[in-house]
Amino acid sequence: MNCKKTSILTILFLSLSISSFAQFGVPNLLKYDKRAFHFGFMLGYNQFDFRIASKPDLAEYDSLMMVNTRSLSGFSLGIVTNLRMGKYFDLRFIPGLSFGDRYVNYSIRYSTGNEVVTAKNAESVYLDLPLLVKFKSSRMLNNLRAYVIAGGQYSFDMISAKKKRSPMNGDVVLKLNPHDVQAQVGVGMDFYCTYFKFSTELKMSFGFLNMLVPEENMYATSVTSLKAKNIQISFIFE
């Protein structure tokens, strides 16, 4: 079993173990939903990726055959601030840090006939500032609520490669802009435990900005657009 499958199974097991204490029995935290503000923290497992658009015809590059992307696993940390806007609506601000990698793969065929995949790593540490609206159901089985979320997020890459220089060995660094604006949508479930509320959440993010810095090399000019596409599973304690 590979590392990705092990991580997902661990996440699901942890979620089910905690939620099993909140599903049945007498209602917990009866005054919780009437409070104006809630605070907490978030732990997340993420996968960063790109929505890539390359030139429709790569024939001008004699050796370049194909360009695609590969996502990698990372993690996120955040501080939760929740404002109650009504019985079924909340406004949520969850500033945090997200750590992750992704690769842009270039399939290159050399004059010898050998085909080699050259991978350009895009490592990032994002400062995320999301503002989300949460629409939640009534309580089910006393201690459960389903919900959906939607909103936007500004992200700043604190280790952006935009200003990095390519190393002296001739290897080319794929440079990215540090700023991004994203739309976010997701679904989740609240579990009211005896002393706290635990939530599991699945969220998708789609970037609006082209993050690629244009440069005069094959790796940059063969790609017309790189936009963020991220998925995150979050565990939230409030």
- Residues 173-204 as b/e (b if ≥16 CB within 10 A, e otherwise) read bbbbebebebebebebbbbbeeeebbbbbebe
pTM of the predicted protein model: 0.81
Find the CATH number of the domain harbouring 108: 2.40.160
Per-residue pLDDT, 1: 44
Per-residue pLDDT, 60: 58
Dihedrals phi, psi of 12, to nearest 5 degrees:
-65, -40
Low-confidence ranges of the chain (pLDDT < 70): 1-25, 57-66, 110-114, 161-171
Per-residue pLDDT, 153: 96
The count of domains in the chain is 1
d(CA 236, CA 238): 7
Which domain does 51 fall in, by range? 3-237
The sign one gets for the Cα dihedral 195, 96, 93, 233 is negative
- What pLDDT, in 10s, does the model give residues 20-77? 555 556 788 888 888 999 899 999 999 998 888 877 766 556 666 667 788 888 899 9
Per-residue pLDDT, 44: 93
